[in-house]
Structure 1
Amino acid sequence: MIELKEWEHVMPAHNFGRYLPCWNKGGRKACRRDNTFRVMESDMHNLVPSIGEVNGDRSNYRFANDYPKVGQYGNCEFEVNFKIKRAYPKKEIKGDIARIYFYMSDKYNIKLSKQERRLMEVWNKQDPVDNWERTKNKRVFKLQGNINKFIK
């Protein structure tokens, strides 16, 4: 069976868009013409392939630390709790997520809550940088001209 994939923002557009004046004038639709938003939205360091259903269900929910229950999306180790608006990724990508959040926060001056920052610091330590992250970082550099300095 072929799974349709799309590109997902690891840090949701809502998280970075809400700091821009255009967001208060109509959200993402109003920001489509804002150059700053377009650069942030298309930043390849923040984009990963995702199964469309998972991407849609995750919406702009915050990540949480529990381990996902397998089964909500077949064999995909990801869970969305709609009641409390939280998303639970598998442990092997938690560090990847953390380093993307650190990059976005640093590059675009996006504030992370204390709780979110602490969670990302823990994930960064628990899941060290792997070869795929290094490869992606080099590829993005070739296309976009910058690196994620949190990937070493």
Structure 2
Amino acid sequence: MDNEIKFKDDEILFLLGESGMVGIAKAGEDKMLFIGTPDNDEIVQYLEKDDLIAVSSFNLGKKYEKGIRSLIYLTRDIESPIIVLPKNHPASKRLKMVLSVGENVRLDCGIIPGTHPEQDILCSCDSLSGLNIVKSADGVIIEGNVPDYKIEPF
């Protein structure tokens, strides 16, 4: 079942799971984003203005909503590079949030956070796992059961 959730470029969509959440905003303008890989390579990802910046948090609450907003701001407005950790890096166990960018994002609870240079997959809590989020002109299309959500000004 496909469902569209509409939100504006100056808003953020929060998908709420049982033990975590995902915040989603639009890129806002065409731009390049740089991704540092564990192989000491740098990938350039081109974003269109309606592409998605999604941040997954493994916790709930205002503190983590602020963190999601901050990470989206650093990526979208400051254009900070994305850093991908090697598969066995000890810091991946301590990450509180991870990020993905692009035209669609698949949520998956069975991957190691922060270790995927391919930007169409994002580690999430169990209850959001399996959703596919696809950009639309007016927001996103959720492929799967739409979880509880809220839309707020960015």
TM-score normalised to the size of structure 2? 0.27
1 or 2, which has the higher helix percentage?
A: 1
Between Structure 1 and Structure 2, the one with more strand by share is 2
Which has more radius of gyration?
Answer: 1
